Structure formats: structure tokens, C-alpha cells
Chain A
Amino acid sequence: MNVEADTGALFQVIGTGLVVTILMTVVSFCAGSVLAVPVALMRTSRVWLVRAPATAFIDIVRGIPTLVWLLIIFYGLGSVVSLDPLPAALIGLTLISSAYLAENFRAGIENVHVGQKEAAAALGLSTAHQFWRVVAPQAVNIAMPPSASYAVALLKDTAIAAIIGVTDIIFFAQQEVARGAPAVTAFLVAGAFYLIVSVPLSYFSRFVDHKIRQKVVVV
């Protein structure tokens, strides 16, 4: 058997899953960021009735393991409305990333110095302007580094979607092993594909962190 040719073939087959892995990461990170904004706003509200549901949402979503969420959505809700594996995974991962990102955004909002808001108020800006033009832009800066490192964690979390049958990197690796490919090589190749994406991504997140630390004073 030609080992080199086999490894090359493994790279090709498993590589087809890379697109799905990246798609899941990007879609659930973007959709999660959008959903996280209202959750973070509610979470930082001074009114208990507004704040409590957001706190409960964040706690419950983060308190349940990713795999259990995906099983609940795919198998549990699947008996009510039939879902394909990929949409089920996207729903689950978006839900989870919205809760994690909402906590990052909340920390961002809370860490903008209160003087900024007071200064904006003293200049006569309306409450909405104080928030969107003065507090929010600085909050985004503070929330950026932890959110970038969350993207790395999310990338690795997408691997769990293979368990419900999403055709990502690890799914193809498993399939090749089932067809008789050597398991050690197949999962090393799968690991290499994750590293190709995750290592640059985590270096980028450290770079963002470094840049932002130069720009704003994190209190």
C-alpha cells in the first residue's frame, strides 16, 4: 500500500469538511453577535424585570453542555419539526454563542468609565445618543479581545456537531476510519485542519488584544 498517496487522499476527503466547519463558526458567531446585543442591553438594565430574563437566559444556555443542546434541538425538537443536522447545529451554536457574547458585551458596557456617560450628558446629548455614540463604541473595543478568543473556542465547539451528523472535518475523518483508513493518520489529519484555522485565529485574537490595550485604558 502506498502510504503517502493514502495520506494525500485523506487530506482531500477530510478537507471537504473544512468548509462546513468554517461555515458553522462564521454563521453562528455573526448571528450570535447580533442576538447578543439585545440580551446584553437587557442584562445591564436597571429594571429588575428586564434584567432577570436576560440573566436567566445567559445562565441556562451556558449551564447546559453544547452536546446536550444539539441533542435537544436535533432529536428532541426533531420529533416536532423535522430539522436537518446542519440547521439544527446552526441554531444550537448561535444560541450558545449569543449567551457567551452577551456576557462579553455586558462586561464591555460596564467597564466604560461612568465619567464618559456623565460628560456626554453634560454636553446635552440625549440618553440614546449617550449610549450609542459615546458608551457603545468604547464598549465594543473592550469586548473585542474576549470575543475574538471566544471565536477560537466556538470553532472547536463546532466539532460536536459531527455527533448529530453534520458533515464537518471530524465527520469525514470518522467516515474514512469506518471505511478502513488508519485511525491514527485520519484523526491527525483532522487535528491538523483544526490547527490550520485555530492557531492563526488565536494569534489574531492576541494581536487584537494587544492593539486594543494600546488604544483604550481598560479599567
Chain B
Amino acid sequence: MTFLADWAEWLPSLLQGLGTSLLLTLCVAGIGFPLGLGLALLSIAPARIVRILSIAFIEIFRGIPLLVVIFFAYFGFPDIELVISAFATIVVAHSLNLGAYSSEVFRAGILHVGPGQREAARSLGLTPWHAFSRVVLPQALRAVPGPLMSFLIMVFQSTSLAFAIGVGEMTSQAFSIGSMTFDYLSVLVLAGIIYAIICVVSARIVARFEAKMRT
């Protein structure tokens, strides 16, 4: 059981990397979800040009792999005199990606509410803004927590791509231990187990939550 001794030795630095992975996930969610809501609103805006531009933005970011966006930001930003840290680069690139993906969920939620609610609110004398923010939006947001939590798990998994530009999250930590000990298999399997435990447990929680919401 020598590998267990190795694992015990490596665990602290992997957990430290896990902290970075979780922090990345939080930052990305904190920017990406509001961005998704904003994009959803723009994509159903009355002005045609606004709709077209926002839908084009969504389609482009949904059609391009996250890694391309990350590399574009990491190698491209310095070319246009914009210098930010690798961590910030991941947050920016990943938030744009998450914004585009989650906008579909927000949009479906808003469209699900139906025109009658808005009309009723307007006929009661609410301003268009109040009809939307106090009547339509609260109902729309009731349907989104389940899908958004699933997105959160996906975001956590794809923070591993930060490895490609050397942010010290869990995958990078595992890989650098591997390159020092030449025992890539063991340490990567350990990292994989940690990812799997977190993802499987949170997926179960999300499934239970969604089942509860439905009843």
C-alpha cells in the first residue's frame, strides 16, 4: 500500500489547488450568471438590432471551445496592451462562455412566464420596468436554480483548463507533482477521485433539489 503514503503526502498540495479551483468557480459564476441574465434580456429586447447582436454573441460563444477563448484572451490581450493575470484571464474567458450558455436558461425562464402576467401588471398601472422586475422576473427566476446548479458543476470541471495557462488549480498541482516524481498515474488518479467525489455528490444534491422543486 505504498501509494497510500504517497497520496497522504500529496493531498495537502492538491487540496490547496482545489481551493483555487473552487475560487475560480465562484468568480466565474459571480460574473457569468449575471451576464447570462443580461444577455437573455437583450436577446428578447424590443429593438431588432439589439436582439440580433446579442443572439450572435451567444451563438459565437456557444460554438467556440472554451479553450480557444482562453488562449485568445491569454495570448491576445497582451497584443492589444491589456495585461491581466492568468487567473483573471480564466475568469474573463470562462465568464463569457458561461454567460452565453446560461442565457438560454434565463431566456427560457422568462418566456415561460407568459404574456398574461405582464399585461395584468400593466393594467394595474405598474410601469413597464416594474411589471418586469416585480412580476415577470421573480417568476422567471423560480425555474432556473436547478439548471444553474448543473452549470456550476460543469464550470468546476472546466476550471481544469486553467492548467493550459499555468494557473495553480488542482489539475496543475497534480501535474507538477507528477513531473517531479515521474509518477503521473498515481497523482492524476488521486486528483480524478477528488473531482469525481465532488461532482457526483453535487449532482446527487442537484437531482434531489430538482425532484423537490417539481413536487
Q: Which residues of A contact B (CB under 8 A)?
A: 59-60, 62-69, 71-72, 75-80, 156-160, 162-163, 170, 173-174, 177, 182-184, 186-188, 190-191, 194-195, 198-199, 202
Contact = CB atoms under 8 A, between A and B. Distances in A.
Interface stretch (B38-46, B141-149, B155-163): B155-163
24 contacts: A59-B203, A64-B192, A64-B195, A65-B158, A67-B160, A68-B195, A69-B192, A71-B174, A78-B184, A79-B182, A80-B185, A159-B66, A159-B68, A160-B65, A170-B67, A173-B68, A184-B79, A187-B68, A187-B75, A190-B68, A190-B71, A191-B68, A194-B68, A202-B62
A104 B166 CA distance: 35
B47 to A, nearest CB: 24
B184 A79 contact: yes
A177 B186 CA distance: 34
A77 B184 CA distance: 8
Nearest to A201: B63
Contacts of A174: 71
A65 B160 contact: yes
Given A65-B160, A71-B175, A77-B185, A170 B195 contact: no
B64 interface: yes
Contacts of B63: 156, 194-195, 198-199, 202
A75 B171 contact: no
Nearest to A155: B65
Which of B65, B178, B196, B203 has the most chain A CB atoms closer than 10 A to its own CB?
A: B65
Interface string B30-54: 0000000000000000000000000
Per DSSP, chain A at the interface is helix
A79 B185 CA distance: 8
Which of A62, A65, A77, A190 has the most chain B CB atoms closer than 10 A to its own CB?
A: A65
B83 interface: no
A65 B157 contact: yes
Given A63-B195, A65-B157, A195-B64, A183 B79 contact: yes
A194 B199 CA distance: 28
B79 A65 contact: no
The 5 closest A-B pairs by CB, nearest first: A63-B196, A76-B185, A183-B75, A159-B65, A187-B72
Interface in B161-214: 161, 163-164, 171, 174-175, 178, 182-186, 188-189, 191-192, 195-200, 203
B68 A59 contact: no
A72 B160 contact: no
B76 interface: yes
A167 to B, nearest CB: 15
A72 B188 contact: yes
Given A67-B160, A80-B185, A187 B65 contact: no
A160 B161 contact: yes
Nearest to A60: B196
Contact of A194 (B65, B76, B78, B184): B65
Contacts of A157: 65
Interface string B98-110: 0000000000000
Given A59-B200, A80-B185, A68 B80 contact: no
A179 B133 CA distance: 52
B72 A170 contact: no
Contacts of B191: 68
B6 to A, nearest CB: 14
A57 B110 CA distance: 37
Given A66-B160, A159-B66, A190-B71, 11 more contacts: A59-B203, A63-B198, A71-B174, A75-B184, A75-B185, A76-B186, A163-B67, A183-B72, A186-B75, A190-B68, A202-B62
Given A170-B65, A184-B80, A191 B72 contact: yes
A195 B79 contact: no
